[in-house]
């Protein structure tokens, strides 16, 4: 109801037209799929939460191939959906071309910056969240070696890796981090067999905590880590429940909040760049009953301290995408 009031207020002040007020928001999931237990599923949860809270309806579309992107965007825009939220960097180029053709429609893109007057670009400070899980990994590791398995080799995933390494080194400067990327094509997001094999290779090199930032591939990584007696770290959504007591934590990226907020803003979505970091709970670590036994009070204290320091600016976590390089290895 509160939202309805807000909405009425907004309608009164901005004198929205009736047509725009009826517009349904829409969300497009990227190739990983709506139920990837990770990134896209978080977007779906946000949309679902909005629908439950407001009783509103939304449209959704799941990408099946690269070729559909432009068609899907145009179709939704022409159907009057507003705003249209899309998940994933891969929409960047397409949106850049499509957005000017629909000046009255608002778009929101997650994980990418698109400079158009009707587009809100939502980016996360994944390096901050990854720093925190890295810190926990560094403290939990007994061997002093931890692993990272990325999905497709793109700057965004390198950003996860870079933050993670910085966190690990903060906990244990002598720690060794083994970094692997699954592949260089979108198939790398859906290859649990290869992910598992990489995790096994890392375990045989001594890694006892492995952070998977790899979409559907990560499921294989977490499985292999569990089978091999190592701890896994999930990503994007809370994945602690996949193997209770075997997953140290999950790096939360609040894609759900981003979608929810974009839907709430409706056609009044504010164009520009929106950065979500630790300070506004855009990223964080997952703590629940499933990983309670793994997280020591010392870890909790360190995480809280680091969080406060990052927000206050005392700790600066390097962002890989700012200069395409990572100061630590």
User: What is the H or E stretch that residue 22 is in?
Assistant: none
CB 267 within 8 A of CB 106: yes
CB of 277 to other proteins, least distance (A): 29
Find the binding residues for other proteins in span 249-308 (CB under 8 A).
none
Q: In whole angstroms, what is the distance from residue 34 CA to residue 86 CA?
A: 12
Cβ proximity to other proteins, 37 vs 106, nearer residue? 37
Phi, psi of 71 (to 5 degrees): -60, -45
Applying the rule CB under 8 A, the residues between 201 and 230 that interact with other proteins are: 201, 204-205, 216, 219-220, 223
242 binds other proteins (CB under 8 A): yes
CA 176 to CA 191: how far, in whole Å? 26
Q: Convert residues 52-91 into a mask of x (bound to other proteins by CB under 8 A) and - (unbound).
A: ----------------------------------------
Near other proteins by CB under 8 A: residue from 59, 176, 200, 264: 200
Instruction: In angstroms, give the least distance from the CB of 41 to other proteins.
Output: 7
Pick 37 or 69: Cβ nearer other proteins: 37
Alpha carbon distance 147, 209 (integer Å)? 6
The distance of closest approach from Cβ of residue 227 to other proteins in the complex, given in angstroms and rounded to an integer, is: 8
For the residues of 130-186, what is the DSSP string, one character each? Answer: HHHHHHHHHHH-SSSEEEEEEEE--HHHHHHHHHHHHHHHHH-TT-EEEEEEEESSG
DSSP alpha helix (H) spans, 266-328 = 297-312, 320-323
User: Using CB under 8 A, which residues numbered 163 to 192 contact other proteins?
Assistant: 179-181, 183-184, 187, 190-192
Residue 274, strand partner residues: 122
* End-to-end CA separation in angstroms for the chain: 50
Q: Are 106 and 84 in contact (CB under 8 A)?
A: yes
In the list 6, 21, 35, 245, the residue contacting other proteins (rule: CB under 8 A) is 35
Quickly list DSSP for 97-122.
HHGGG-TTS-EEEESS----TTEEEE
Stretch that binds other proteins, among 8-16, 29-37, 158-166, 252-260 (CB under 8 A): 29-37
**What is the DSSP code (8-state) at residue 146?**
E
Report in angstroms how near the CB of residue 144 gets to other proteins at its nearest. Answer: 18
DSSP state at residue 270:
P
The residue (of 90 and 135) whose beta carbon lies closer to other proteins is 90
153 is a site residue for other proteins (CB under 8 A): yes
Q: Which is nearer to other proteins, 216 or 277 (CB)?
A: 216
Q: With H, G, I as helix, E, B as strand and everything else as coil, classify residue 209.
A: strand
CB of 11 to other proteins, least distance (A): 36
Q: How far is the CB of 293 from other proteins (least distance, A)?
A: 19
8 A C-beta contact, residue 24 and residue 81: yes
Residues lying near other proteins in the complex (CB under 8 A):
33-37, 41, 153, 179-181, 183-184, 187, 190-194, 196-198, 200-201, 204-205, 216, 219-220, 223, 242
């Amino acid at each position: 109801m509160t939202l309805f009031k807000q909405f009425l207020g907004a309608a009164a002040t901005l004198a929205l037209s009736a047509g725009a007020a009826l517009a349904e928001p829409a969300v497009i999931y990227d190739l990983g799929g709506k139920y990837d237990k990770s990134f896209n599923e978080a977007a779906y949860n946000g949309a679902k939460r909005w629908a439950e809270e407001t009783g509103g309806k939304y449209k959704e579309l799941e990408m099946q191939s690269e070729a559909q992107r432009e068609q899907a965007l145009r179709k939704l825009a022409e159907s009057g959906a507003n705003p249209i939220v899309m998940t994933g960097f891969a929409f960047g180029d397409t949106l850049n071309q499509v957005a000017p053709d629909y000046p009255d429609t608002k778009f929101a893109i997650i994980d990418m910056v698109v400079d158009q007057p009707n587009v809100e670009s939502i980016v996360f400070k994944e390096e901050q969240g990854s720093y925190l899980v890295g810190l926990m990994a560094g403290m939990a590791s007994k061997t002093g070696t931890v692993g990272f398995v990325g999905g497709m080799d793109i700057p965004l995933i390198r950003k996860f890796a870079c933050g993670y390494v910085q966190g690990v080194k903060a906990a244990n400067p002598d720690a060794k981090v083994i970094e692997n990327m699954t592949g260089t094509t979108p198939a790398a997001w859906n290859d649990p067999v290869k992910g598992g094999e990489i995790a096994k290779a890392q375990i045989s090199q001594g890694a006892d905590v492995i952070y998977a930032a790899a979409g559907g591939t990560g499921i294989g990584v977490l499985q292999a880590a569990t089978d091999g007696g190592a701890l896994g770290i999930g990503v994007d959504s809370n994945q602690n429940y996949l193997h209770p007591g075997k997953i140290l934590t999950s790096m939360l990226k609040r894609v759900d909040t981003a979608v929810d907020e974009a839907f709430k803003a409706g056609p009044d979505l504010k164009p520009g760049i929106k950065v979500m970091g630790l300070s506004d709970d855009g990223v964080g670590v997952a703590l629940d009953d499933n990983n309670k036994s793994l997280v020591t009070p010392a870890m909790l204290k360190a995480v809280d301290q680091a969080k406060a320091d990052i927000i206050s600016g005392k700790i600066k976590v390097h962002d890989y995408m700012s200069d395409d390089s990572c100061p630590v290895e």
